[in-house]
Chain A
Amino acid sequence: EDKVVQSPLSLVVHEGDTVTLNCSYEVTNFRSLLWYKQEKKAPTFLFMLTSSGIEKKSGRLSSILDKKELFSILNITATQTGDSAIYLCAVGIPDSWGKLQFGAGTQVVVTP
């Protein structure tokens, strides 16, 4: 059965710290891995990764995929209180009409 596991489940950091979130997956015929940020409302898209070793960056956020070891990490540098959210990892399930398999998420709390 396809699985997406995120760790840690939650963490609390101080403003300015760096955060690393993990997402491991077991999916047959992997196609893509997506990261979303959820702040009490709609998950907002952050990154989509399809190739190993190519880092994607957006401001203080970056993400990379390792298709050999079947995991991805999401890094947030110089954290701000506005980074407090649940970060969701999802894997596109091939041959499933576009279904996304989500992990349970990592809750990040950034304290001033």
Chain B
Amino acid sequence: NAGVMQNPRHLVRRRGQEARLRCSPMKGHSHVYWYRQLPEEGLKFMVYLQKENIIDESGMPKERFSAEFPKEGPSILRIQQVVRGDSAAYFCASSPRLLTGFTEAFFGQGTRLTVV
């Protein structure tokens, strides 16, 4: 059973370009969470999705950021018109069910986005 797969592992974008980050959850997992880790900071929640639904996007910046988890295929975190401040590691986690406190989330290897 493969773990949570994220790609690409490293992504370099020039200011103003678009960044697309992909996350394939573990087999059987239908809940996906995206977190961002800025240098020397803890992980910050961005968005929680179930298949075809955004459940909680309270951690997403209001502009330029969007996420989806289609019926088929990976979850995508999309950042339009990237700026230097978007440079960070973006982690995806998946779980088989809602995290009610009695299950754990499994994290992917992350995508390190560098905006130049």
Give me the interface of A with B, judged by CB distance under 8 Å. 4, 31-32, 34, 36, 41-45, 48, 50, 88, 90, 92, 94, 96-105
15 contacts between A and B (CB under 8 A): A4-B42, A31-B100, A42-B108, A45-B106, A50-B102, A88-B42, A88-B43, A92-B100, A97-B55, A98-B95, A100-B35, A100-B43, A100-B105, A103-B42, A104-B40
User: For the complex, would chain B's binding face be called helix, strand, loop or mixed by DSSP majority?
Assistant: loop
Chain B neighbourhood of A43, CB < 8 A: 43, 91, 107
Q: How far is the CA of A112 from the CA of B3 in the complex (A)?
A: 32
- B106 to A98, Cβ gap below 8 A? no
- A32 to B101, Cβ gap below 8 A? yes
B33 within 8 A of A: yes
Size of interface on B: residues with Cβ below 8 Å to A: 30
- A42 to B42, Cβ gap below 8 A? no
Chain B neighbourhood of A88, CB < 8 A: 42-43
Chain B neighbourhood of A94, CB < 8 A: 100-101
Distance of A15 from chain B, by nearest CB (Å): 25
Considering the complex, give the chain B residue whose CB is closest to the CB of A92: B101
Q: How far is the CA of A6 from the CA of B108 in the complex (A)?
A: 23
Considering the complex, give the chain A residue whose CB is closest to the CB of B45: A99
- A34 to B104, Cβ gap below 8 A? yes
- In the complex, per-residue mask of B12-54: 1 if CB is within 8 Å of any chain A CB, else 0: 0000000000000000000101010000111111001000000
Chain A neighbourhood of B31, CB < 8 A: 98
Chain A neighbourhood of B104, CB < 8 A: 34, 45, 48
Q: How far is the CA of A105 from the CA of B101 in the complex (A)?
A: 20
